[in-house]
Amino acid sequence: MECQLCGLSTPVKPVVGDGHAFCCYGCREVYRCFGDEILTTGLQNRSSSEAEVVQGDEAFLRIDGMHCSSCELLIERSAVRVDGILAVTSSYATSTAKVVYDPQQITEAELPTALSRTGYQAQLRGTALPVYDERQPLLRLIIGVGLAAIVMMLYLAFFYPVHLGLVELDELQPVAWLAFYSVPRVLLLATTILIFYVGAPIFRGAWIGLQVGVLNMDNLLVLAILAAYGYSVTQLMLGSLELYFDVAAMIVAVVTIGRYLEHKARALATAELVTLLDAWTPRARVRVGETFVDYPIEQLKAGDRVTIFQGETIPVDGSVIDGRGAVDESLMTGEPIPVSRETGDLVLGGAVVVEGSLDISVDPQIRSRTDILAKILWNAQCSSAGAKRISDSMAQVFVPLVIVLAVAISGTLSWLGYAPGVALLAGLATMIVSCPCTFGLAIPLATAAGVSAALRRGIIVASADVFEKAGRPDIIAIDKTGILSLGEMTVTEVIGPPQVAEYAAAVERQSEHPIAQAIARLDTRQTGTQWESYPGKGAMATVDNKRIAVGGKALFTLLGWHVEDQLSSPTASASGDSVVSYVGWDGTAHGAIITRDRERPHWEDLLEQLRKMGRVVLLTGAEHPSGYESQVDEVHAGVPPEAKAAVIGQLKTRGRVIMIGDGSNDAPALAAADLGIAFGSPTALAAEAADVVILGDNLDRVFDALRILGTTRRRFFQNLGWALLYNATAIPLAALGMLNPLFAALAMSCSSLLVVWNSSRSLR
């Protein structure tokens, strides 16, 4: 049977609640909290995704080179023309695409080529994109700034003084050949290179918009550039000095600088994120005869024998056929305590073998828990229509209005009897003064500043659209293990004579098990010899000529040693998720050591500050809230990963939701939240799902991240507000003939510089 909430398989005896079958008590409690509504939502989501799967096989790809939200339409419309591709949904915000295809007509390996035909770079998930070559953009930037400086210096030397009435044309007669012949042609050459080489990405963006039938910012930029350039070339051919090459040059240079800074900031964030993702690689070591062969998960077959050594990640779900080991499933289930796995036990893909080694047989379905969560994550990312930038959204209205207005002004003045040159200049002034440089720079430059400020504090902003998501939250959902606790075991109580701690530490010093390492820190005087490990149960060693056993009751049962009743009785310290390790010698347990997941310092302060911002919900895969429930407003414990996303969906009906987590089991919830924050040393899936990744163990950085996001978002609106005010003032002046193209260009440049200054101010 399938769980009514998350869709996972239920045990032989499912957990039942109000006539519904669940896979665990966590799902049942979530249902009891939210009622039938969460079941209906979950079933609808699963049925809609299943409807898509029926169409064909699914593949997820990363797309590099997406220019704006118009690229989504271009990719989708061009890809479906390829035989075998049935449907494509792409997201500019996450640079991802989901492809539904017919494997009988096209293979998965051929999909990247099919999606790269329109000039993008596509790679299947799990395959790293080629390292970005920044030499070409840097060359464009250097040439653009250099040529724009030359153009402006020549204007300052020869043309601006004349236009401002500071110098008469007659006074330039001694240098007439230089001023009236050479300089204009140098300006023509420099501006031509600027436009058609440096400005090539702008023209590409405009062409993409035309291909998909959507006018974007680049369309208006190109119109303004070509209008100023074309008018200037015409005037030069007619022998006039009414040249506006400076306008075209400044537009290209300023936009190029802004886009380079934005991409540079994103590249820094991506580089940090790639470092995190390198920690997880979906490959399996398959035993073939007497040798081992590394296979990607996609090439595994049911029944393959996969070997996992100590410290390695289990690649896929399977059954243990040889070996014993302690397995850390905290990143998958949320439980911080490693569990024992031996022959016949099932293991989860994505868990880590912390002690011992295992040989597993791959399950018939060949599905990794990690892969399941990855599919949920990629579906969540690709299902979005793409987070359009505020400036691009405004441009869809602004661009057509400006074009219509410029044509209308020129036409009206011609109809009223004005000279064609005057009418053309009025329309051109309107086009120039309303040039959307301020819109084009408003968000990218503020984004670059925000990303850089975050990186200096160990905070990685995963994508630029995160700043658009920022806002005061109504609900903050937070995971337990790795956030409120450290995911590290610590000793809370030692029961028995003084030798208990000394002997136990001597035995456990040679083990890599998290509980053993906690016990080993109790004493440093001795180290055991003739050490023997019982993975998942404990260990033995010789200390002071005695065989000392340290481990759980299962170890003492295996050895046939006696455990006193007073030690067997649970103590107050051993409640919840605590672990009791018995210590014995001479066939008897003489004491016990109690360990539990270590609390993160200052976790109370974190929750106290979060509660000032909104309602705090503890959302954990661990069965026990371990005392943290007293500091939060709501608790959902024992919740599997798939159900976490459903809980976030229900919480979002109450307002904006922030999710803070670190493990792969948190990835669906991080992706589903309005703002996902991965904290500490997040897994690859958590890092990819989150909008913000916070490195290190300083909880205060959560608030640093929120402040940076909020401040940057305010910069967006300040810049856009200025852009609107500027255009609302300047366009009417140009339309009324009170602003000639020269002053229009100066006003446009000053407006852009103001946006640059505001975006570059220090984020405090």
Distance CA 645, CA 83 (A): 35
Distance CA 479, CA 676 (A): 12
Whether 31 and 4 have beta carbons less than 8 Å apart is answered as: yes
Whether 563 and 541 have beta carbons less than 8 Å apart is answered as: no
Distance CA 205, CA 66 (A): 10
Distance CA 224, CA 508 (A): 74
Which residues are 752's β-sheet partners? none
CA nearest neighbour of 709 among 691, 724, 723: 691
Distance CA 299, CA 315 (A): 12
- 510 token code pair: 């040679």
Secondary structure (DSSP) of 610-653: HHHHSEEEEE-SSS--TTGGGGSSEEE-S--HHHHHHHHHHHGG
Q: Residue 531: enclosing H or E segment and its boundaries?
A: strand 529-534
Buried b or exposed e, range 297-335, using 16+ CB within 10 angstroms: beebeeebbbbbebeebbbbbbebeebbbbbbbbbbbbb
The type of residue at 308 is I
Whether 502 and 309 have beta carbons less than 8 Å apart is answered as: no
Distance CA 259, CA 236 (A): 31
Q: E strands of 552-703, at which residues?
A: 562-563, 579-585, 588-599, 615-619, 634-636, 657-661, 675-680, 692-695
Whether 435 and 747 have beta carbons less than 8 Å apart is answered as: no
Catalytic residue set? 479
The type of residue at 729 is T
Give the count of alpha carbons within 13 A of 6, CB side only.
28
320: Cβ contacts below 8 Å, ≥ 6 apart: 341, 342, 343, 344, 345, 346, 347, 358, 359, 360
- 593 token code pair: 């050591």
Distance CA 669, CA 691 (A): 12
Q: Which residue has the tokens 């500043």?
A: 449
Give the count of alpha carbons within 13 A of 346, CB side only.
8
**What are the Cα distances from residue 329, in Å, to 128, 314, 350, 351, 500?**
27, 10, 8, 5, 29
Distance CA 296, CA 294 (A): 7
Distance CA 686, CA 522 (A): 34
